[in-house]
Amino acid sequence: MGKLDGKVALVSGAGRGIGRAIALKLVAEGARVVINDLDAEPAAETAERIRARGGDAALCVGSVTDATFGERFVATALESFGALDIIVNNAGYTWDNVIQKMTDEQFQAIMDVHVTAPFRILRAAAEPIRRFAKAEAAAGREVFRKVVNISSVSGLGGNAGQVNYASAKAAVVGMTKALAKEWGRYKVTVNCVAFGFIRTRLAQPLTAQPNLIDVAGRQIAIGVQPAMIDALEKQMIPLGRLGTPEEAADGVYLFCSPESDYISGQVVTVGGGITF
C-alpha cells in the first residue's frame, strides 16, 4: 500500500533532474502521473522508467509557456485517469545576467515559465477541482488535494545575476499564499518548496566553455562557478554538500502526502540547512 494510492498527479518539467525524481517518488507511493517536459525524449524516458517499475504514466509534451498548455495538461489527467489530485509546478530554467545586461526578453521569458505558466495551469485546474470538491462535500467526504509550487533560495534571499529568476521565484510564494486562501474551501492545500542547491544540470560547475542548454531553440548558458560550489559546501550549506534530486523530491513529497493535510500556504526550504 502506497500513501498516494489512487491519486493522479501532474508534474511539469519531469523529463530531467528534480521533476523526474518527483514523478518517480510519487509513483513509488502509488500515484499515477502525467509527465510534462519541453523535450519529448527525456519525457518519454521518465514515462518508460515508471512503466518499467509497474507504474502508470501519461505524457503531455510541450512548453508550459504555451497559452493553452494548462488546459491540455489538465485534460490529459482527466482523459487518461479520470481524476486530478496533485499538481507540482516544477518546470523551469535560469537565464542569468547582471541587470544592465539583462534584456526584456530574458526577464520576460523567466517570468513566463516560472509565474505565468503555473498560474495558467492552476486556473485550468480550478473547474474540475471545484466540481470534484463539491461532489465530495455533498457526499459528506473530505478529500484533500495538493498543489506544490517550486521556488528557490534565490526567490527568498535574492542572488546576484538573477534579477529575473529571483523576481519570478518570489512571485511563486505570493501565488502560493493567495491560492491557499482561495482553495481551502475545496480542501486543496497549496504549498511551496524552495530548493537550495541541488545537483542537476542547472547547478553543474561552470567550465572554460560555458555549459549550454537548449530551451525551445535558444542556447542558454547555465552553471555555477566551481569556487562558489566549494564555498557553498564548506561554509554556506550547514549539511556540507549540495542536495540530490531525490532529496529535493522528498521535500515535495511531504506536501503531497496525507501527513500534510492540515498544512497550507507554507514555504519550506529544502537546502541542507540554509535559512533566511
Instruction: List, by residue number, the catalytic residues.
Output: 165
**Which strands make up the sheet holding 86-89, listed edge to edge?**
57-59, 32-35, 8-11, 86-89, 145-152, 188-195, 267-270
Q: Does 195 bind ligand NAD (CB under 6 A)?
A: yes
Q: Is 150 in the site for ligand NAD (CB under 6 A)?
A: yes
Number of residues located near ligand NAD, criterion CB under 6 A: 30
The amino acid at residue 86 is I
Span from 35-43, 122-130, 231-239, 257-265 in contact with ligand NAD (CB under 6 A): 35-43
Q: What cell does 159 get?
A: 542572488
Answer yes or no whether residue 116 interacts with ligand NAD by CB under 6 A: no
Single-letter residue type at 169 = K
* Min CB(104)–ligand NAD separation in Å: 18
Gap between the Cα atoms of 271 and 175, Å rounded: 21
Q: Considering the rule CB under 6 A, would residue 18 count as an interface residue with ligand NAD? A: yes
Cβ proximity to ligand NAD: between 36 and 189 the closer is 36
Out of 32, 42, 84, 189, point to the residue binding ligand NAD (CB under 6 A). 42
Contacts of 102 (CB under 8 A, 6+ apart): 163, 164
**Which residue in 235, 255, 233, 217 sits closest to 4, CA to CA?**
255
217-276 positions binding ligand NAD, by CB under 6 A: none
Identify the bridge partners of residue 211 per DSSP, sorted by sequence position: 222
Torsion of CA 200, 206, 212, 213, to 10 degrees: 10
Report the residue from 76, 106, 149, 152 that binds ligand NAD according to the rule CB under 6 A.
Answer: 152
**Contact call for residue 164 and ligand NAD (CB under 6 A):** no
| 276: β partners | none
From the list 8, 9, 10, 15, which residue makes contact with ligand NAD (rule: CB under 6 A)?
A: 15
Applying CB under 6 A, which of residues 17, 55, 70, 118 lies at the interface with ligand NAD? 17
Segment contacting ligand NAD by CB under 6 A, of 128-136, 174-182, 184-192, 194-202: 194-202
Q: Please give the full DSSP string across 48-112, using - where no structure is assigned.
A: HHHHHTT--EEE--S-TTSTTHHHHHHHHHHHHHS---EEEE-------B-GGG--HHHHHHHHI
Binders in 52-81 for ligand NAD, by CB under 6 A: 63-65
Q: How many angstroms separate the CA atoms of 160 and 2, rounded?
A: 42
Which residue number, 90 or 264, has a Cβ lying nearer to ligand NAD? 90
Summarize as ranges the residues that interact with ligand NAD (CB under 6 A): 12-13, 15-19, 36-39, 42, 63-65, 90-93, 113, 150, 152, 195, 197-198, 200-203, 215
